[in-house]
């Protein structure tokens, strides 16, 4: 019966709507972005430590005798001490559900980071106190700016020698265009981190080191008078600098932060767990909760609408015992209930969600319900690919995720022809996850696909996974191509005859033409103005 004639149904719908809106208001979904080695994975672990969901922080570099970080689970990540694949951590803090998406720090994995940024409502921009804003940080900031994602800035590694705090504020404003509005100010210069001045109430938060930063750093809150008595001139300097900021209008304003005009700033040392608890509090109190997400036509889907989500990442090999495939979805509207049957928008086919999990690094546990803003892992999701939209009841398709223009190319060949079946399965898996773009051409045949990547380290990941996960070791023959352009079936025959070019096809049917250099491409285009060659999304993220 319709809700117009059934008071009980109308009451149920109203109750469900109220629940969805209340739960969405409790969610904070954000990513940490930074240049490599700025301390991103360390901060991720420190946040989980302060939320009391782990008892001891791991060491970022995974040296002998130390634990690896929770979010870095791949063997290559542990060996190299870098994040290669994005990870999702969900935990509760105060009365808030935090969905923290850790991202690859290395520039070679920009495409994975870009996908993760489509699933968040805010970003924490981590800056090394000694190096300031570095290239990869700026590239990722450009994505946040383009997508309208509010940014909270954290100056990390203040326990080590670094730049002047005011100088860093000038750099943030000059290079990002955002007005920095520090919520905390360091007491002590970089390398002499004693604590922070809380600019909201003028109090002093004094930190005490713990052994190796493995546990939460004890924190003591002192009045301004007590801080002056304890720290003397160091406290006076911090107060004077804070007053200078106030005189220039560098005070936090929620509306300008959410509008992408200003950025709250905090000072911290993630490895020592200094200032990390204050960051969690800022995320809870100031970061935005989920809002209606526009569909492919630009029409926002209300949070209280029936369930909808999109796949922003697919990952296999996280559970070595089962070799399963996990699709990470961002819930956009309604209530997700484990076991519900949803529809994949691209194919129109049903997908059963019997195996739905909450993800904490490599560890997982079943999840029964989820709300807008939550990240859910769907197991055995072989039918789902990156960018897929899911829904129940009213159909919706969210905007597709862009594929970046690859810059490095190599032909993949199986080392042992007896493993061809495993070879084909592995190639298909890597392509659907977006680890590499798999291209085929008439010139080479299906048995010698071309791997196309943004950065060369992606080749290493692909080789490693082909051998360890699929038992099909491969060799790679690097090609001289440097550029890729989108073309069409009418132009392909002409382009295939061009010198320094090769026409290839993606698994989704797109035709690309690869060029050895920009001069050859430009010369051909000038002589063949009717040929279609469209630029792809730049890997620079700018």
Question: What's the gap between Cα 76 and its chain centre?
Answer: 19
Contacts of 533 (CB under 8 A, 6+ apart): 485, 486, 487, 491, 495, 513, 521, 525
CB 328 within 8 A of CB 384: no
CA distance 427 to 316: 12
Which of 466, 442, 462 is closest to 452 using CA atoms?
A: 462
Residues comprising the binding site for GTP?
Answer: 102-106
Q: Residue 468: exposed, middle, or buried by beta-carbon count in 10 A (0-12, 13-18, 19+)?
A: middle
Annotated binding site: 102-106
Strands 408-414 and 511-515: unpaired
Rounded Cα distance between 268 and 476, Å, is: 43
- Secondary structure E strands in 183-298: 184-187, 195-198, 204-207, 219-222, 262-267, 293-294
Partners of 331 in the beta sheet?
309
Pairing state between β 325-333 and 308-316: antiparallel
Distance, CA of 11 to chain centre: 39
CA–CA gap between residue 380 and residue 382 (Å, rounded)? 6
Pairwise CA distance, residues 431 & 385, whole Å:
9
DSSP for residue 404: B
d(CA 385, CA 436): 13
């Amino acid at each position: 019966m319709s809700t117009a004639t059934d008071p009980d149904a109308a009451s149920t719908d109203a109750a469900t709507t109220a629940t969805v809106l209340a739960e969405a208001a409790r969610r904070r979904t954000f990513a940490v972005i930074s240049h490599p080695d700025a301390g991103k994975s360390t901060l991720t672990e420190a946040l989980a430590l302060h939320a009391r969901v782990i008892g001891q922080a791991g060491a970022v570099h995974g040296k002998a005798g130390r634990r690896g970080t929770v979010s870095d689970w791949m063997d290559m990540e542990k060996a190299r001490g870098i994040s290669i694949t994005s990870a999702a951590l969900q935990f509760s803090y105060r009365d808030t559900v935090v969905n923290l998406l850790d991202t690859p720090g290395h520039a070679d994995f920009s495409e994975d980071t870009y996908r993760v940024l489509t699933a968040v409502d805010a970003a924490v921009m981590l800056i090394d106190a000694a190096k300031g804003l570095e290239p990869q940080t700026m590239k990722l900031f450009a994505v946040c700016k383009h997508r309208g994602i509010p940014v909270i800035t954290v100056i990390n590694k203040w326990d080590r020698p670094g730049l002047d705090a005011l100088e860093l504020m000038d750099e943030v404003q000059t290079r990002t265009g955002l007005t920095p509005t520090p919520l905390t100010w360091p007491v002590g210069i970089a390398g002499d981190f004693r604590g922070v001045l809380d600019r909201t109430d003028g109090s002093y938060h004094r930190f005490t080191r713990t052994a190796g930063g493995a546990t939460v750093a004890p924190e003591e809150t002192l009045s301004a008078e007590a801080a002056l008595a304890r720290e003397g001139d160091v406290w006076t300097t911090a107060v004077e600098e804070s007053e200078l900021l106030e005189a220039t209008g560098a005070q936090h304003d929620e509306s300008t932060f959410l509008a992408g005009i200003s950025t709250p700033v905090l000072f911290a040392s993630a490895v020592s767990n200094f200032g990390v608890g204050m960051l969690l509090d800022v995320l809870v109190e100031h970061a935005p909760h989920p809002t209606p997400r526009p569909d492919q036509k630009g029409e926002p889907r209300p949070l209280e609408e029936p369930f909808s989500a999109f796949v922003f990442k697919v990952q296999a090999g996280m559970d070595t015992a089962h070799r399963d495939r996990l699709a990470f979805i961002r819930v956009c509207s309604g209530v997700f209930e484990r076991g519900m049957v949803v529809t994949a928008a691209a194919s129109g086919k049903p997908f059963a969600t019997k195996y739905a999990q909450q993800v904490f690094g490599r560890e997982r546990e079943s999840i029964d319900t989820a709300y807008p803003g939550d990240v859910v892992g769907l197991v055995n999701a072989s039918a789902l690919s990156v960018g897929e939209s899911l829904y129940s009841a009213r159909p919706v398709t969210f905007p597709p995720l862009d594929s970046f223009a690859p810059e490095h190319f190599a032909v993949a060949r199986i080392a042992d022809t007896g493993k061809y079946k495993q070879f084909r399965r592995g190639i298909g898996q890597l392509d659907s996850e977006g680890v590499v773009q798999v291209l085929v051409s008439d010139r080479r045949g299906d048995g010698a696909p071309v791997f196309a990547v943004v950065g060369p380290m992606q080749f290493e990941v692909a080789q490693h996974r082909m051998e360890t996960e699929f038992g099909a070791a491969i060799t790679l023959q690097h090609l001289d191509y440097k550029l890729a352009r989108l073309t069409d079936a009418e132009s392909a025959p002409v382009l295939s005859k061009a010198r320094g070019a090769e026409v290839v096809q993606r698994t989704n049917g797109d035709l690309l033409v690869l060029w050895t250099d920009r001069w050859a491409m430009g010369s051909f285009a000038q002589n063949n103005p009717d040929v279609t060659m469209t630029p792809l999304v730049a890997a620079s993220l700018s």
